[in-house]
Chain A
């Protein structure tokens, strides 16, 4: 896309959105730090760094609006990653209830199914073995209890 063309592509619009989100995050953090304490020592790093970031964001924003950045040619379609991303989020969020043992087993099994593995023995065998070995190893090695649903734990 050239600078003469005023229309931004979808990727470029998303790029602007990411930039604005970063700038918003910095403004919020600066405000939060200032509210926590306006003492010089509390802002000794946060204030100057935030100002520099915001200034750079303005420069970047202008250059993006001019459509200066071409999107990289080899972007993977985000839609193809979404099922895995959602599965991973579900895995982490449900760890508290499903525990590392059952949670990991279900995560690995679901992932294998999603990615074309149709041999049930392999899916069941690998996910159970992997989850069991990992849960046992880490629960023995770590000095604190881990959330588990079936395996014994002091969590």
Chain B
């Protein structure tokens, strides 16, 4: 079986290079299309883990679907995408994507219970991935599945189990085994640990981190939880209403955010400790006032303008990236004033 993109090309080219990604959905009610993703670009090197931090409705799932060719048919998508240095043609059809997905690009999505067939033994479901991408015999596929189960700290008798017999953490590991079966160069993960409790979550994250180091596998990890991204990524892109707000190395971005949105979002984390018999008012968490703009009525300039505490007149223009430290911030005020001190 021929592969559309060779898995061993020039080792210096990034695993993923994305530019000018735009995803829009035609709207039945509003006149203009809903623009869900608007001109995003990013690059992921071999073995690098990149995180996308965004709230629901920010378009982060559309981003994951676009780079895996899984957008629904009504979505209109344009992008310049290179995987391992080879461009993905704009007219890439389902056959093209099918050979890429599961082989060069592995995917894990949010609900492991929905990703697995309820009536098929999970070992076979992992073997299915290998059977459709490798010219191997059933026996060698089975051997490879056993290796994978072992690598993911699963007992070998789980091969015969049905999904309902497994715990959430075990199911997510099976989905992970499917994604990793063909040793992909890139793993795209869309909130795969949201349904797990904290302890299982950390176990899965540590496992993925270890495997990505061992195999030099690139990660695109999408989440709304900064704690998860701190655990697993090297670099974070912050997304709001379809655009990047800020990107930079994980540690410095979470410790000293430059964009007002990132700052406010991180302020929503519970940090304070309650005191007995104090007024309940004092236990309130910080919130970001207002709501994200609907995708059909986006402001022309900065997308965060309506909720931003330090807004100025120039915020009506589309912000261009300002280099800040080892990252970039899409804010006209970045670097000029200390944020949070008010106008």
- Whether A associates with B in a native complex is no
B-side interface residues toward A, CB under 8 Å? none
